[in-house]
Amino acid sequence: MPSFFQGSSHIDAFHCHGPDSTDYNTPTSHENDPVLASLKPVTSSYVQPCMPGTRQWIIDIIEDWLCDPKAPNILWLSDSPGAGKSTVASTLVSNLQEGGRLGSSFFFKRDDIALSDRAACWRTIAFDLAQCDSVIAKRIVENIKGRKVDPGQILTYISDT
Give tens-digit pLDDT for 14-37: 433 333 323 333 444 456 788 898
Whether residue 158 contacts residue 4, with contact meaning beta carbons closer than 8 Å, is answered with no
Give dist(CA 102, CA 22) in Å, integer: 23
Helix axes 134-145, 118-132, angle to 10 degrees: 130
Look up the pTM and report it: 0.70
- pLDDT tens figures, 89-134: 999 999 999 999 999 999 988 888 889 888 899 899 999 999 999 9
Q: Which domain holds residue 80?
A: 47-105
One domain, residues 71 and 117: no
The residue type of 46 is: Y
One domain, residues 65 and 141: no
One domain, residues 11 and 26: yes
- pLDDT tens figures, 39-84: 989 987 778 999 999 999 999 999 999 999 999 988 889 999 889 9
Instruction: Count how many domains the chain has.
Output: 2
One domain, residues 120 and 144: yes
One domain, residues 101 and 140: no
